[in-house]
Amino acid sequence: MKITFLGVWMVPVDGDTVSFVLELDSGEKILVDSGVNTVRNLVNANIDPCSITHLVITHSHGDHIAGLPVYLFYRYKYAPLVNKKAPSLLKVISTQDTWEAVKAYINIPYPNLTNNPNIIIEEYVREGGCLKISEHYMMNCFITNHNPITFGFKIINTFSKKSIVYSADTAICKYVFDMAEDTDCLIHDVVADSKFPMLGKAGHSLCNDVGELSNNSRVKMLVPVHRLPIYKGENDKYKEELSNAFHGKLFIPMDGDVIEI
């Protein structure tokens, strides 16, 4: 599995908000949420925006859906006209409440855009739901500790048993770390270090807690995202707190970084 981080931040001050692409060896490309500049970031990463096969929308907060109207306009209006790209099927993975809210948001600037028959949702996410992505890849979904309703997921190769867990936005949630036991990679909301305890009480997670619980769950690689933009220039305190608590491999990504699992 290949992960391309389109954005890793909480707010787009000098970089984009959290969004990434999971590329599976079976050919699927899964766009997880949509930062402010999704189309530009995909193009800069040499990923054709029209090649995305699945769209995951974890929840309806603006930093996770801001780029969707332009992304879908590009895919279903611009690319067919200018680039002669035939419209292709896009499978949406989301909860019913989130998808209804997102459709209303998209249809403000582009009325009826979400009525395109190539945009489908086969089954709404539910607590403990399991979705088949391809022959050897399954996605297990779980509701996190965040408002509005938000879900994370574990995607696993049923043949090799390699797995990736994404927490989405969440305060510390035991179920995330239960799902992350022995996982190859945990991508987790780690908004700040211990100087910002108020954020730990507002639906997000802090370095010390995530590091300790990831260590207890024997996570092989921890990837913290949804960071405050103050850490772009100086992340020593952030990295120190995570490293002191977590003894596995720590990878702190920047926009555009790529890793393979």
Banded model confidence at residue 235, pLDDT cuts 50, 70, 90: confident
User: Which contiguous run of DSSP H or E holds residue 199?
Assistant: helix 197-200
pTM for this entry:
0.97
pLDDT at 223 (0 to 100): 98
Cis check: omega of the bond before 224, within 30 degrees of 0 = no
Banded model confidence at residue 136, pLDDT cuts 50, 70, 90: very high
Residue 230 pLDDT greater than 80, yes or no? yes
For the chain, what percent of residues have pLDDT higher than 70?
100
Q: Mean pLDDT across the chain, nearest whole number?
A: 96
Q: What is the 3-state secondary structure (H, E, C) of 31-96?
A: EECCCCCHHHHHHHCCCCHHHCCEEECCCCCHHHHCCHHHHHHHHHHHHHHHCCCCCCCEEEECCH
Question: Span 68-78, mean pLDDT?
Answer: 97
Q: 231 by DSSP, 3-state: which?
A: helix
Helix axes 207-216 and 236-245, enclosed angle (nearest 10): 30
Both structure tokens of 223: 């990837």
Banded model confidence at residue 114, pLDDT cuts 50, 70, 90: very high
Banded model confidence at residue 198, pLDDT cuts 50, 70, 90: very high
Tell me the backbone φ, ψ of residue 145, rounded to 5 degrees: -100, 80
Banded model confidence at residue 150, pLDDT cuts 50, 70, 90: very high
Residue 234 pLDDT greater than 80, yes or no? no
Residue 236 CA to residue 133 CA, distance in Å, equals: 38
Report angle CA 240, 143, 90 to the nearest 5 degrees: 100
Instruction: Report which residue type is found at 225.
Output: V
Q: What domains appear along the chain, each with residue ranges and CATH number?
A: 2-260 (3.60.15.10)
Those residues with Cβ within 8 angstroms of residue 254's Cβ, 6 or more apart along the chain or in another chain: 5, 8, 15, 232
How far out from the chain centre does Cα 171 lie? 16
Banded model confidence at residue 186, pLDDT cuts 50, 70, 90: very high
Tell me the backbone φ, ψ of residue 217, rounded to 5 degrees: -90, 5
pLDDT in tens, 79-94: 999 999 898 999 999 9
How do 221-225 and 258-260 pair as beta strands?
unpaired
Residue 200 pLDDT greater than 90, yes or no? no
